[in-house]
Chain A
């Protein structure tokens, strides 16, 4: 009888791109020697331990968020009311990820679990605490979807949203085809849903920007840690970002290479330059696709661009410089894609969004090339308000600056250590091309940060991970954990810094619903501050006016008075809604009158003979009689 000794089984170590160094048994069922197995695959209990750690972090984090008292949230946002247990949970989540990343053999399922826990703990705080949609824009978006669902058409002169209706059309299809007309649940849980949906696209992109899978996973982790922008609500930009990331990942994975043949001096010079600056290019991915497959995927790229174009006004313009620079650096063979990325949004603007274009020529092109105006709108005008709010604004700016600085260091390190860095660096800087074009309502810098973050995150972690597939040592893991902890704490501060302004109570929603039941159709509805959870009903059924914008008052701005409210009231009268969030916003942003918004409203109500129609813990509704010479 021949007994096959387990020691005779031959094993082979291979460097697999998905799991790092793995051991493959050549003889089939014969198991490797336990000691050898341990040495090659590491301690088998470690993954279980890290998975348990993730589960504990999830339970502890959700429980900690559930204990937050919403009434205590002030000018500095959520950070001042989060219990210490929340930070313990966040720390466990971070340690769990870094530990999982340091395992001898990478386990993708474990890393996915760790990232999902991080998404829930870090980006799910608002839905878990408030159980309502965040940001007044979420309610507006629900209202637009409701309008489309009810009318089956567009009102393109009403506002910009109807000129880029793709995403709202999708919501309306979902609502109509399922019979679920209230999509508030989707808006509430969107921050978690959007971030989960971004995960495959981010990972696919990071795998093409990194020298090994560990760096890619760490890059995705860093994206979630540094994503304080909060654009992950139920919005066209969140959907368009998903399409953009998928498009870029598809281009880098399926179509790497030069878009032109090696002819001409310029072409050779560009190729030579790129070869000099980036010595270690990522190896091409073997896809085993047919020629038809490549054509279909090129068409998919065009479909994604078209989807972006009809869904959001800014994202396609962010795609142009990124795709252009990727083509110029030999990372995209699809020469027509940057051209299409330019043509589609321009044609859409001219031929489909004509009502918007005609009414907003000055807004669109008035500050073209004016860097001062863009800097003022994105930076200077944002710094203001109460000291706590200014701290939040500065912490946002500081975090963005630190990420870009670390990405710069990562680029240098990548070049020095002959690792792939150029595509990530180009993706980081490309969105800045948009900066001198226009201010985008003062949000452009914030959006630039969002578009560049998936690329920058891969560079930030580059110096902290080894070049090869081997796991990082204890020192590197410690540094990664420290950096992650600092960035995560900063993101909790920055992301939830405006929580008192951006979130609403059930009483405020009930107040707005009551307003729609009181006010006849066509009436003018006035909000004291542009921070009201309304317009989720009858989007086009009323005329909406705003007394004060939700931004820090600029020097020279006239303080609001009773006369400035009366100016908004037509001869037929109007309704004024004043909510708790509006009062918080006025206080935090220092945008209200010196006497305080509540006092001003009380005084004006007395002087103007306003009648209070409804009042609850969320605020008040007044009926304002029509001025004889009103608008």
Chain B
């Protein structure tokens, strides 16, 4: 149980560090560092936070390659889709501030990570996957 939490915490810390670094780097910094951090963040940051919020038991336990590819695919596709939708909204509203877009995504990511951590601390690893009413649902 401890190692499950430890793995999730490591990923969570990595995503949080990337999201936090992306905020100042979206305004200034060495180009290669900005490209690496912001590029990685836009590619997978918000989606990974979403997966950590969902926290499916099989991923936590590291079993089931039938779940892990989907989790990775969702992490990447959701991140890209969010960035695409945000960019489109900014273009259509005439509010074009790319650094603000990165900050907005970073704040959303950090919020999701905080929610995941809070839920884990409150409910523990097993019940973190149950519903908020405490009812556990299996695949229908």
Taking a contact as CB atoms under 8 Å apart, the answer to whether B74 and A246 are in contact is yes
A600 to B136, CA, bound (A): 76
Q: B17: which A residues are within 8 A, CB to CB?
A: none
- Is the beta-carbon distance between B77 and A201 smaller than 8 angstroms? yes
Interface flag for B2 (CB, 8 Å)? no
Decide: A333 and B91 in contact? CB cutoff 8 A.
Answer: no
Docked complex Cα distance between A184 and B7 (Å): 37
* List of A residues within 8 angstroms of B77 by Cβ: 201, 242-243, 246-247, 304, 307
User: How many angstroms from the CA of A148 to the CA of B90 in the assembled complex?
Assistant: 11
The secondary structure that dominates the A interface is: helix
- Interface-centre pick from B54, B133, B138 (highest chain A CB count, 10 A): B54
Q: How far is the CA of A149 from the CA of B70 in the complex (A)?
A: 33
CB distance B85 to A204 under 8 Å? no
Q: Which residue of A is nearest B72, CB measured?
A: A200
A609 to B18 CA separation, bound complex (whole angstroms): 60
Q: Which residues of B84-100 are within 8 A (CB) of A?
A: 84-88, 90-92, 94, 96, 98-99
Q: At the interface, yes or no: B122 with Cβ under 8 Å from chain A?
A: no
What 0/1 readout, one digit per residue, does chain A (95-121) give for beta carbons within 8 Å of chain B?
000000000000010000000000000
* Binary A-proximity of B74-85 (CB < 8 A = 1, otherwise 0): 101110111111
User: Is there a chain A Cβ closer than 8 Å to B20's Cβ?
Assistant: no
A137 interfacial by beta-carbon distance below 8 Å: no
Stretch of A57-65, A162-170, A457-465, A563-571 contacting B (4+ beta carbons < 8 Å):
A162-170
Contacts of A108 in B (CB 8 A): 65
CA distance A307 to B137 in the complex (A): 29
**Residue from the set B66, B82, B90 with the largest chain A CB neighbour count within 10 Å:** B66
- B80 contacts A17, C-beta separation under 8 Å: no
* Inter-chain contacts of B74 with A (CB < 8 A): 246, 250, 297, 300
Given contact pairs A285-B139, A287-B56, A291-B137, A170 touches B73 in the complex (Cβ within 8 A): no
**Quick one: CB contact mask for A239-271 with B, threshold 8 Å, 1 for yes?**
100110111011001100100000000000000
B61: min CB distance to chain A, Å = 9
23 sampled A-B residue pairs with Cβ under 8 A: A166-B87, A166-B88, A169-B84, A169-B90, A175-B98, A178-B39, A180-B34, A201-B76, A204-B73, A245-B73, A246-B70, A285-B67, A285-B139, A287-B56, A288-B138, A288-B139, A289-B54, A290-B129, A290-B131, A290-B136, A291-B137, A307-B77, A352-B92
User: Top 6 nearest A-B pairs by Cβ distance?
Assistant: A169-B87, A307-B81, A152-B96, A18-B65, A176-B98, A246-B77
Give 6 A-B pairs besides A17-B64, A19-B65, A173-B102 with Cβ atoms closer than 8 angstroms. A152-B94, A176-B98, A199-B69, A290-B132, A290-B136, A297-B74
**Footprint of A on B, CB under 8 Å?**
25-26, 31, 34-35, 38-39, 42, 50, 53-54, 56-58, 63-67, 69-70, 72-74, 76-78, 80-88, 90-92, 94, 96, 98-99, 101-102, 129-133, 135-140
Interface residues in chain A, defined as those with a beta carbon under 8 Å from any beta carbon in chain B: 16-19, 108, 148-149, 152-154, 165-167, 169-170, 172-180, 197, 199-201, 203-204, 207-208, 213, 239, 242-243, 245-247, 249-250, 253-254, 257, 284-294, 296-297, 300, 303-304, 306-308, 310-311, 333, 352
